[in-house]
Amino acid sequence: MDPSGTAGTEGSGARFVTTHWSVVLVAGRTDSTRAQTALARLCQTYWYPLYAYVRRRGHSPQDSQDLTQEFFARLLERHTLAIADPNRGRFRSFLLSTINHFLAHEWEKLGAQKRGGSRQILSLDLARAEERYDLEPTDNSTPDKLFDKHWATALLEEVLSQLEAEYQQAGKADLFASLKQTLTGTGESQPYAVLATRLGMNEPAVKVAVHRLRKRYRELLRAEMANIVADPEQADDELRHLVTSLAGR
């Protein structure tokens, strides 16, 4: 693979031009289909943190499911993005402030019978959301902090799924399964020799494979970060924020 030899960050440069959140923001009022698709993709990836947030704010499972569905339906239907929200530079902050507004001003106005119902614009696996929520250990962080933690997890889930899919397509699913633990490691401490024996490779080859995996992971992570901020320059900042939010787990 060619990019493995290059210095790195330029490889993902082209991606930055069409990042999802910036596409949505630029489109603003004009409801372009591109913006719709971009927003739908973002909502698909990041709906669970929002669901968990609503649950933590004290809404019942059924209410939370309806609420999440209704919220995304409204978000996708009418572009409320033109509002000048200082948080809109980041998709995460934007969603949080928009849901707060929604909870405070609009949700109660909807009659109980009008809530939920047939408004299924996104197909979200809301039925399983509650199972997932139940599985989580009790966490006494504030809803905001919990939202950020879930956000970081959703982001990583997305990136790792992409990475895994790439390895699967290349017929290297086993390699990914064996090496994925090295993504969190600091390098030297990883038992390359053990991995080499298990994979039937020699040690230098394992090192190269690990290097490639990490490099590709970082590329995909950067690309996804760029998807959720309006300006690629905010990506590092957002990443640091997420690291901080997880540090308190």
Partner 1 sequence: MDTIQICPSCGRPLPSNAPKGLCPECLLKAGLQTETQPNAGGPAPPKPPPFVPPSPAELARHFPQLEILELIGRGGMGAVYKARQPSLDRLVALKILPPGVAGDPGFAERFTREARALARLSHPNIVAVYDFGQAAGMPFFLMEYVDGPNLRELERGGKLNPREAMQIIPRICEALQFAHDEGIVHRDIKPENILLDKKGRVKIADFGIAKLLGQTTVPDAALTGAGDVVGTLNYMAPEQREKPLTVDHRADIFSLGVVLYELLTGELPLGKFAPPSKMAQVDVRLDEVVVRALEKEPARRYQHVSDLGTDVQNITAAGSANPPLLSQPPAPVVPPAPPPEEPSDCRILPAFLLAFIFGIFGAHRFYVGKIGTAFLQLFTFGGLGIWATIDWILILCKAFKDKKGRRITKWT
Q: Which residues bind partner 1 (CB under 8 A)?
A: 7-9, 84-89, 93, 96-97, 132, 135-137, 150, 152-153, 156-157, 160, 164, 180-181, 183-189, 204, 207-208, 210-211, 214-215, 217-218, 221-222, 225, 230-231, 233, 236-237, 239-243, 246-247, 249
Name which of 59 and 149 has its Cβ closer to partner 1. 149
Name which of 30 and 120 has its Cβ closer to partner 1. 30
Q: How far is the CB of 27 from partner 1 (least distance, A)?
A: 16
Q: How far is the CB of 71 from partner 1 (least distance, A)?
A: 18
Q: Comparing C-alpha atoms, which of 155, 158, 73 is closest to residue 114?
A: 73
List the structure tokens of 174. Answer: 């086993």
Q: How far is the CB of 197 from partner 1 (least distance, A)?
A: 15
Q: How far is the CB of 59 from partner 1 (least distance, A)?
A: 20
Name which of 112 and 135 has its Cβ closer to partner 1. 135
